[in-house]
Amino acid sequence: MVKIANATTEVPAEKSIAEIMAILTKHGATEIMSSYNAGTAIGLTFVVPTKHGSLAFQLPAHIEKVYSILINERYDAWKEDVKTRVHKQAERVAWRILKDWIRAQMAIVQTEMVTVEEVFLPYLQIQGKSLYQTLVDGQFKYPQLKEG
């Protein structure tokens, strides 16, 4: 079985979030907001000025998905204290993975191989939903271009 990236990290989620905010700010983000559910950070929304105007992107931290992978690796997953510890670990892992991914994406933006909008396009907010979710909801159907 392949271990997921950062599976054993001890870096608190708050530190990874602060590092993400620093990376985004360094690369032009003008607004950054954290989203929480029951005291747990579950996402970041940030605004970046582009040649198309200021664009908002929302990055989710799918902690429950990471949790399900980590808990399935445990022989003692039925224990409540284990579930609690693994959930905290999933939170740390999810945010650390996001930090690494954002750092890598900004490296290719910095080299001008891509633009911020290219990298984060699936997370572009349109009427309160990501572009990706909008496409999923529409079953990836889009108007065909007319030939002519």
More confident of the two residues 52 and 146: 52
User: Residue 1 has what pLDDT?
Assistant: 58
Convert the pLDDT of each residue in 29-40 to its tens digit: 999 999 999 999
CA dihedral 121, 123, 124, 125 (to 10 degrees): 170
Predicted confidence (pLDDT) per residue in 69-124, tens digit = 998 887 776 787 888 999 999 999 999 999 999 999 999 999 999 999 999 999 99
Q: Would you give the DSSP letter of residue 32?
A: E
Residue 102 CA, distance from chain mean position = 8
DSSP string of 18-69? Answer: HHHHHHHHHTT--EEEEEEETTEEEEEEEEEEETTEEEEEEEE--HHHHHHH
What's the mean pLDDT when you consider all of the chain? 91
Q: Is the Cβ–Cβ distance between 100 and 5 less than 8 Å?
A: yes
Contact in structure between 58 and 43 (CB atoms under 8 Å): yes
Is the alpha carbon torsion for 62, 65, 69, 70 positive or negative?
A: positive
Q: Where are the domains of the chain?
A: 13-133
pTM: 0.88
Which residues make beta-bridge pairs with 41?
Answer: 36
DSSP state of 122: G
Residue 145 pLDDT: 46
